[in-house]
Every structure is written in C-alpha cells, then in structure tokens.
Chains A and B, each alone.
Chain A
Amino acid sequence: MDLRTPIKNARGLGSAKNGVTHWWLQRVTAVALVPLVIWFAFSLASNAGGNHAEVTAWIASPLTAGLFILLIGTVFFHAQLGLQVVIEDYVHGKVAQLACLLAVKFLAFILAVTGILAVLRIALGG
C-alpha cells in the first residue's frame, strides 16, 4: 500500500524522475544551435565546392575548426535528446525501447567523436 498521496509523486522530480533537466538541455542546445547552424549552412555553401586542398585549408583555420567542433558536439547532444523523446513516444515494448535508446545514444556519441576527430586530423595536419 502506498501511503503517499498522488501529489507527493508528482512534486519535485515528477514521474520521469529527472525533473526538467532533459527539457531544459533540449532548449539550451537549441539556443546554441541557432547561430551555429546559420554559420554552418552559409559558410559550407560558400566553401564546400572547392578541391581537397581548398576545403581542408578552410576547415583547418582555427575559427572554422573550433566552430565545427562546437557544432558537432551540440548537434549530436541535441539530436540524441530529441530522438529519446521520439522513441519514448513510439516504441512501447520495454526491451525494444531500451534497445533503441541505447542504440541512439551510442551512435550519437560515436558519430560525434568520429566527426570531431576528423576535424582535428585536418586542423592538425595528421
């Protein structure tokens, strides 16, 4: 028997047990992505058509490399938070949901690391 009133379970951390952290991080990354994505789209459009030497020289400049790393980190963090909500909405089996969540989280992490390493290799001339 649960002697606590329903309101007790809803207060504070709520039914998801992590309060507003997930929601808040989705907004923080969204705010950060606005300038990053606008920079990304326009500078990629004006630089991506070059040959290998031109494109790598562009990526290797400290400003571009730094912004790329910030963009990649923020995008995958935001995407993984967003995909989590989508999975929680549509995948109902306990095991299937857990499997999807793990796959998305691992993949997002691996892709982010791969992308950042690629930028560093270009920037550091490795």
Chain B
Amino acid sequence: MEQQDRPLSPHLQVYRPQLTSVMSISHRVCGVALSVGSLLLIYWLSAAAAGPEAFSRAQGMLGGFFGQIILFLFTYALFYHLCNGVRHLYWDSGNGLEIDAVYRTGYIVIGVSIALTLLVWILAYATGGGA
C-alpha cells in the first residue's frame, strides 16, 4: 500500500506531559503493578491456609510500616485502575470523547480514586485492620 503522511504519535522525549497522556500511561503502569501485587494476595491466602505461624509471619510483614506503605500504594493503584477502567468502558460506549469531557472525567477519576483509597484505610484503622 502507498505510504501516507499520517500524524505521528507523541514523541515522548519532547512532548509536554499533560493530564490525558499521564493518565493514559498510568492506567497501564497500575495494571502491570497490580498484576505483580496480586502475588501478595496469593501469598497471604496461602499463609492463612498453611496455619497460624505462617499467617502471623505474613501479617507481620504486610502489617509493618514498610508493608503498610506498599499496601497503601497498591490500594491507590487498584482504585485508580478501577475508576479509570470505568472511564475506558464509558469511552468504549462512544461517549465522553470530546476534549472537555475527557478532562472532566479525568479529574473525577483522580478525585474518586483518592477518596476510595482514604475510605478503605480509614475503615481498616477503625476496625483494627490497620495495625
């Protein structure tokens, strides 16, 4: 077929980052991070199945300062990917693709994912799950 002068995709080293492009790559980064993070869930469940000693070792690791920071970041990645995933599904229905709508839903996704993350951690601490 004949070669045509098509628009190039953004050249990452010179293209100014903006909400749209940063949120787009973040969806992918979070998806990959969550895939790695799912290892923790399987480890935790296996430890619970293995018995009290293995379980308390897992709880000690995940419930420690470092463990909680990791879990907090995973919580945010999970909610960001969830909310932005819903945004993707909305786009797939052919809606919300005008540039102002893209920005509006973008801000909603960031706000809602932060709110859900905080809510989960408040709940965890309120029920003794945090420590």
Contact = CB atoms under 8 A, between A and B. Distances in A.
Q: How large is the interface on B (under 10, 10 to 19, 20 to 34, 35 or more residues)?
A: 35 or more
A95 interface: no
Interface string A35-77: 0011001101111111111011001000000001000100110
B35 A55 contact: no
Query: For chain A, which range describes its interface: under 10, 10 to 19, 20 to 34, or 35 or more residues?
Result: 35 or more
A46 B75 contact: no
Interface in A80-109: 82-83, 86
Contacts of A49: 63, 124, 127-131
B82 A56 contact: no
B78 interface: yes
A114 B46 contact: yes
A13 to B, nearest CB: 19
A30 B78 contact: no
Given A45-B124, A86-B32, A118 B86 contact: no
B120 A42 contact: yes
A115 B32 contact: no
A112 to B, nearest CB: 8
Given A34-B86, A79-B35, A86-B32, A115 B48 contact: no
Given A115-B45, A121-B49, A48 B32 contact: no
B94 interface: no
Contact of A30 (B38, B55, B89, B128): B89
Interface of B: 1, 28, 31-32, 34-35, 38-39, 41-42, 45-46, 48-49, 51-52, 55-56, 63, 75, 78-79, 82, 85-86, 88-89, 92, 116, 119-121, 123-124, 127-131
Which are the 8 A-B pairs with shortest beta-carbon distances?
A49-B129, A45-B124, A118-B45, A118-B49, A52-B52, A121-B49, A79-B35, A46-B127
Interface of A: 6, 27, 30-31, 33-34, 37-38, 41-42, 44-53, 55-56, 59, 68, 72, 75-76, 79, 82-83, 86, 111, 114-115, 117-119, 121-122
